[in-house]
Amino acid sequence: MQDYTLLTGMILKAEPIGEYDRRVVILTKEKGKISAFARGARRQGSRLLAATDPFSFGTFKLYAGRSAYNLVEADISNYFEGLRKDYESAYYGIYFLEVMDYYTRENNDDKEQLKLLYQSLKALMHEKFPNALVRYIFELKAMILNGEFPGLPKEKSFNDSTIYAVDYINRASIEKLYTFTVNDTVFNELKAIADDYRKRYVDRNFKSLEILDNMYGA
């Protein structure tokens, strides 16, 4: 009898395999990032067709194969449809997926990273919260969770409100992260800090970020 595993998580990326299958990468609460094959997921009418799209969040039923998991069922609680309907927000969301694919590892305790990703995608769908601000808060918190944030650059001086904002991002729970807005001065300083540290500590170019920078000067 086949032993199944139930994991809660989000699809980070999906790619076609053969004529009808998909290989997906899922960031899960229980096992960090995993790879899985979804047999027949690209067939019209497949129960896994929409469930294996990026952004899909829910519970996945899998069994372990020799080199990867096999996905047999999915119960999706949030497809983040709002992102699919807004071009700019979608690219920010894709960027967030890429960042989490970069930071997370199999069998790591990545519950906080999954939570950050989920709340950040929700924030992108909030009309009164600027997408670019979501991005810089997300980037800084992701660095903090992964132990790569050294604090404010000591060679520069910052507005008191910027110092407070960075301290808040550092200390706040994920659920309360997107509960503040900033003026233009603080926004520009947060942008400068996030840009500086991303260039220093992230050794990958993200295609979605290149598109955002070219389209919106993000």
> What is the DSSP code (8-state) at residue 214?
H
> What is the DSSP code (8-state) at residue 20?
T
Q: What is the mean pLDDT of the chain?
A: 94
- Indicate the class that CATH gives domain 81-216: mainly alpha
CA dist., res. 111 & res. 113, Å (int):
5
Distance, CA of 18 to chain centre: 27
The 10s digit of each residue's pLDDT in 12-35 is: 999 999 999 999 999 999 999 999
Helix axes 87-103, 207-216, angle to 10 degrees: 150
Question: Is the four-CA dihedral 9, 207, 103, 149 of positive or negative sign?
Answer: negative
pLDDT above 90 for 215? no
pLDDT above 70 for 114? yes
**Pair 11, 52: CB distance under 8 Å:** yes
- The whole-number pLDDT of residue 178 equals 97
Query: Greater confidence, 75 or 212?
Result: 75
Name the residue among 151, 137, 132 with its Cα closest to residue 179: 137
> In this structure, are strands 21-28 and 69-78 parallel, antiparallel, or unpaired?
unpaired
Q: Please, which residues bridge with residue 190 across strands?
A: none
- The whole-number pLDDT of residue 68 equals 84
Show me where the domains of the chain are located. Answer: 5-78, 81-216
Reported confidence tier of residue 218, pLDDT bands at 50, 70, 90: low
φ and ψ at 183, to 5 degrees? -85, 175
Q: Stretch 186-203: mean pLDDT, rounded? A: 94
pLDDT above 60 for 2? yes
What counts of helices (H) and strands (E) characterise the chain?
Answer: 7, 5
pLDDT above 70 for 6? yes
- The whole-number pLDDT of residue 127 equals 84
- The whole-number pLDDT of residue 65 equals 83
The 10s digit of each residue's pLDDT in 96-109 is: 999 999 999 988 99
Q: Which amino acid is at 45?
A: G
CA dist., res. 137 & res. 143, Å (int):
10
Fold exhibited by the domain 5-78: OB fold (Dihydrolipoamide Acetyltransferase, E2P) (2.40.50)
pLDDT-wise least confident of 7-11, 59-63, 106-110, 132-136? 106-110
- The whole-number pLDDT of residue 216 equals 65
pLDDT above 80 for 210? yes
The model's pTM: 0.94
The 10s digit of each residue's pLDDT in 141-175 is: 999 999 999 999 888 999 999 999 999 999 999 99
Residue with tokens 């993000």: 218
Distance, CA of 119 to chain centre: 9
Q: Stretch 69-80: mean pLDDT, rounded? A: 97
The 10s digit of each residue's pLDDT in 51-74 is: 999 999 999 999 988 878 999 999
Distance, CA of 154 to chain centre: 29
